[in-house]
Chains A and B, each alone.
Chain A
């Protein structure tokens, strides 16, 4: 069997294993949805009127703030879901079956690839569910073309992929599930510090670099531009570059961690 077909075959077997886990224990996935949905409702209904003042430059307009809010909430959803991936990788690594996999003539990376692909699918599913809640409370992107929708979904998938590889590395480098959950917390905190809730321009000067020089802001701005027609500018390329960089970094990091002798 060629290396490529071995990779595909073993990785899809591992993916099936991970999907089976998710299906057997859906509460893990659903728990991860709670935070973004709560944030969505909280910001839309409780803080919405106040927050929107900063965006529309005057009168409170909840539906316009909702439109501003949703791309960031979707990124937050991805961040939260990948924390779950870090935890499940760390948990899986303590399972004896991983040692068994290591003594089998299978593609070495298939265990990780199975986790990553499973996690990306989980991210997209979560995005769809949270997106559905957003639509239910009034989010609309009427002006977006089919191509723009496609690009937006593509970017969300790319963000999921890159953050998942980072999360897998975090999971592999953590001794147990709790440590993994803590180590992966930045994946949830970074979107809170991005332009998800208020534009960078409305932030105090000392804070702006934190919001600007991180992957979530350009990614959020790009999705906003695609769905709502705001200015994208250089954010598109920046977002893609961040994603590719993080993917490469996370992949190499994870691979070297997994290649080490198990403890």
Chain B
């Protein structure tokens, strides 16, 4: 097996940082539909990386390529220091994968599924039984252990799926929508388990539709849209990217609105809704100074709401081509705090 050199592990600042996953210009198309159109990633070992994106953005495709399930059409990808195309077995030895769709053997029991994994990881009989018992316990599957997996509920299958991925202590874990279909308790349980894995130095690559989940877990987040990474950074960095935080003033009287808009100048106007948006981080101090400023100008709005940006805003702003209007959504009253 060729031991691969990793050109991508040196960042531009010259300091090599061990990358668990790195890609350059990764491309994939199905027929004439381009799914991934040049993806560059650099995921340091021991971190949690979340890939967000609307349905059909190519998240699963990215996971499939990085986990050696399908081959890319172009670009390079290295996982655990091995090229996914040239040394797939090196990659496979380091990773654990829980795909978007259930990957359990429905005809045999949950316990047999776990023992099957232990055998395929070449664990001894004793070790295999120990790991199986431990993981079944950890994922709350002891009672169901002796039942055929096809009789499990969706959430139970999901948990078994992830338990099977953890047999063999993978150093890099791919989780494609790990908590979809889990109830709130199981979801928090899963988050806890992911945090424990990370504290053991495991690298986690997850995709999710729950922005809250990315916010909770991920060190870095990338938003995939139209086959490209639309933005990448920490949750904080992403939130700063978009003009999300603001104070919104709404007027009933058009003439009051117009005079306020002229007086305030540095604001975003929404003429239809007769609303003005003043950028703000939402802190008490800034809010007070805004109020003082409005008072000094003699502006009296009929409604004042404070908006802080969340990942939802980032998501909608960055993937706006696929949703009707991020503005329209943000104007809904439920966003007001």
Contacts and interface: CB of A to CB of B under 8 A. Distances in A.
Contact of B120 (A24, A95, A106, A261): A106
B119 A105 contact: no
Interface residues of A, number: 23
Contacts of B107: 20-21, 24-25
Contacts of B336: none
What's the interface size class on B, roughly? 20 to 34
Interface stretch (A9-17, A71-79, A169-177, A195-203): A9-17
B104 A96 contact: yes
Interface in B283-334: none
A145 B52 CA distance: 71
Nearest to A22: B107
Contact of A95 (B70, B97, B105, B119): B105
Given A17-B116, A25-B107, A261-B71, A103 B122 contact: no
Main secondary structure, interface of B, reads loop
Q: Which of B93, B105, B148 has the most CB of A within 10 A?
A: B105
A9 B122 contact: yes
B108 A21 contact: yes
A115 to B, nearest CB: 13
A100 B93 contact: no
Contacts of B70: 261-262
Nearest to A6: B122
A100 B164 contact: yes
A99 B69 contact: yes
B332 to A, nearest CB: 38
A42 to B, nearest CB: 34
Given A105-B93, A261-B70, A99 B104 contact: no
B61 to A, nearest CB: 11
Interface in B42-88: 67-71
B243 interface: no
Contacts, number: 58
A13 B120 contact: yes
A22 to B, nearest CB: 10
A18 B120 CA distance: 14
Contacts of B97: 100, 103
A103 B88 CA distance: 9
A17 B93 CA distance: 21
Interface string A1-12: 100000001100
A262 B99 contact: no
Interface in A104-135: 104-106
A176 B141 CA distance: 31
B104 A104 contact: no
B210 interface: no
Given A20-B108, A100-B97, A10 B120 contact: yes
Contacts of A136: none
Contacts of B119: 13, 16
B337 to A, nearest CB: 42
Contacts of B102: 96
B229 interface: no
B165 to A, nearest CB: 8
Interface string B93-104: 101010101111
Contacts of A106: 120
A208 interface: no
Given A17-B108, A97-B104, A105 B89 contact: yes
Ranked 4 nearest A-B pairs via Cβ: A96-B103, A105-B93, A100-B103, A105-B92
23 contacts: A9-B122, A13-B116, A24-B107, A24-B108, A24-B148, A96-B101, A96-B102, A96-B103, A96-B104, A97-B103, A97-B105, A99-B99, A100-B97, A101-B120, A103-B67, A103-B68, A103-B69, A103-B92, A104-B120, A105-B89, A105-B92, A105-B93, A261-B69
Given A13-B119, A21-B107, 13 more contacts: A17-B105, A20-B107, A21-B108, A24-B107, A24-B148, A96-B99, A96-B102, A96-B103, A100-B99, A101-B120, A102-B68, A104-B92, A104-B120
